[in-house]
Amino acid sequence: MSESILAAVMTAPRQPIELREFPRPDLPAGAVLLKTSLSEVCGTDVHLWHGRLAGVPYPIIPGHVSAGVVDAARGPVTGLDGSPIREGDRVVFFDVHRTCGRCRACTVHRTPTRCAARRVYGITDSANEGLFGGWARAIYLEPGVGIARLPDAVALDDYIGGGCGLLTAVHIAERAEIRLGDTVVVQGVGAVGLSAIALARIAGASRIIAIGAPQSRLALAGEMGADLLLELGATTPEARRQAVLDATHGEGADVVIEAAGAAAAISEGLDLARAGGRYVIAGHYTDVGDSNINAHQQINRKHLEIRGCWGSEARHFLRALSILERHPSIPFRKIGARRYALHELNDALADAEAMRIPKALVDPWQ
Ligand SMILES: [Zn+2]
Ligand SMILES: [Zn+2]
């Protein structure tokens, strides 16, 4: 790789993406320079572009989940599984870094995704600090970043197609505690919802009901494992509730997963869960406003359990790799609909914003 490295920079919200050259970084001991193979444009990148996330240190190089080949390693560097990472290895890395392991969130509450020191590649790392994002021909992996070899059996397109949505979905499945034979409703068929459907199937759900739009994504939800598809625009909330009751002996779903990111989805989701069921809310990654609920009718009297789900941890990253290795038939690659070059990322954001694609792939060498 040359001494200057091309990257696509989001300078500020609503500004066009700019191409910039960055100097090849000097590597301290334990650091790695990754030659990027593929990265992604997901819904979070659209939120970043809209300026809807707090504390983002623009300018940034977006692209949090990425894969590449080790161009240089100032060794010894070991992966999360303890094995050595060497030049030429095909690797992926956990985008969350600098989780401190010492604060109250990390130690007392055991909620490291709420650690204040935590940073995320492509989201909370500034481009002023260097190549901390996947929309670039190389990514600087600072010492301590969780690196793993991509298993030979896992196709690059499946890894990035699943990407951040799959990591989030692994965490969701854990929070949802899906049991064998459960009926699971997934609200939303974006990258997170689609992965959550596939994982609910693996986790033993007997029936999976997907609610979402547009029709093309809903069709993909069927390919990911959903049994019943309810299109948002073509059905009323009452009709959807009736469909869920009809499928569950009139009880409602054992588990409802919110991956829609719409305020109106919350009240509906509460109504779709059975009494004593569980509702996991994971789609409200940005503040989309208040949801109107009746605590007596929808929560207290129903004896309902509601759980939030924020971010992911290294164990979700490693479990995602195991799932991809074990289940090559799940078409994660179809979530990543199209490849874009670095100079096409304004188009990629526009396509993701208009929901023409669930996720765009970034090929910085195209
Ligand atoms: Zn901490
Ligand atoms: Zn993402």
CA distance linking residue 20 with residue 320, whole number of Å: 33
Q: How far is the CA of 72 from the centre of ligand 2 (A)?
A: 26
Using a CB cutoff of 5 Å, list residues around ligand 1, an ion.
Answer: 100, 103, 106, 115
pLDDT in tens, 246-304: 999 999 999 999 999 999 999 999 999 999 999 999 999 889 999 999 999 999 999 99
State in Å: Cα 65 to ligand 2 middle. 7
Q: How far apart are CA 22 and CA 229, in angstroms?
A: 46
> Could you tell me the CA-to-CA distances from 7 to 22, 53, 81, 135 in Å, in that order?
7, 22, 30, 6
CA distances from 253 to 234, 257, 278, 292 (A): 21, 10, 9, 21
CA 130 to ligand 2 centroid distance, Å: 20
Residue 355: the pLDDT is: 83
pLDDT at 356 > cutoff 90? no
Residue 357 pLDDT level (bands cut at 50, 70, 90)? confident
Mean pLDDT for the stretch of residues 8-23: 97
Tokens standing for 77? Answer: 């560097």
pLDDT band at 15; cut points 50, 70, 90 = very high
Ligand nearest to the CA of 285: 2
**Percentage, residues of the chain above pLDDT 70:** 100
Condensed to tens digits (0 to 9), the pLDDT of residues 137-163 reads: 999 999 999 999 999 999 999 999 999
What's the pLDDT tens digit per position in 77-111?
Answer: 999 999 999 999 999 999 999 999 999 999 999 99
Plot region of 77 (φ>0 → left; ψ -120 to 50 → alpha; else → beta): beta
Mean pLDDT of 327-350: 95
Cis peptide bond N-terminal to 76, omega within 30 = yes
The ligand whose atoms approach the alpha carbon of 98 most closely is 1
Q: Report which of 219, 225, 221 is spatially closest to residue 202, judged by C-alpha positions.
A: 225
Q: Tell me the CA–centroid distance for residue 316 and ligand 1, in Å.
A: 18
| Ligand nearest to C-alpha 109 | 1
Q: What is the pLDDT of residue 6?
A: 98
The region that residue 186 occupies, defined by phi over 0 for left and psi between -120 and 50 for alpha, beta otherwise, is: beta
Q: What is the pLDDT of residue 329?
A: 96
- With a CB cutoff of 8 Å and minimum separation 6, the contacts of 300 are none
| Ligand positioned closest to the Cα atom of 46 | 2
- Alpha helical stretches, state H, the chain: 43-50, 104-107, 156-176, 191-202, 215-224, 237-246, 264-272, 295, 314-326, 345-353
Task: Find the ligand nearest to 167 CA.
Answer: 2
Rounded to an integer, the average pLDDT of 65-70 is: 97
Instruction: Using the mean position of ligand 1's atoms as its centre, give its distance from the Cα of residue 106 in Å.
Output: 4
* Partner residues linked to 138 by β-bridges: 35
297, two tokens: 């009718």
For ligand 2, the distance from its centroid to the CA atom of residue 169, given in whole angstroms, is: 12
Q: How many A from CA of 125 to the centre of ligand 2?
A: 14
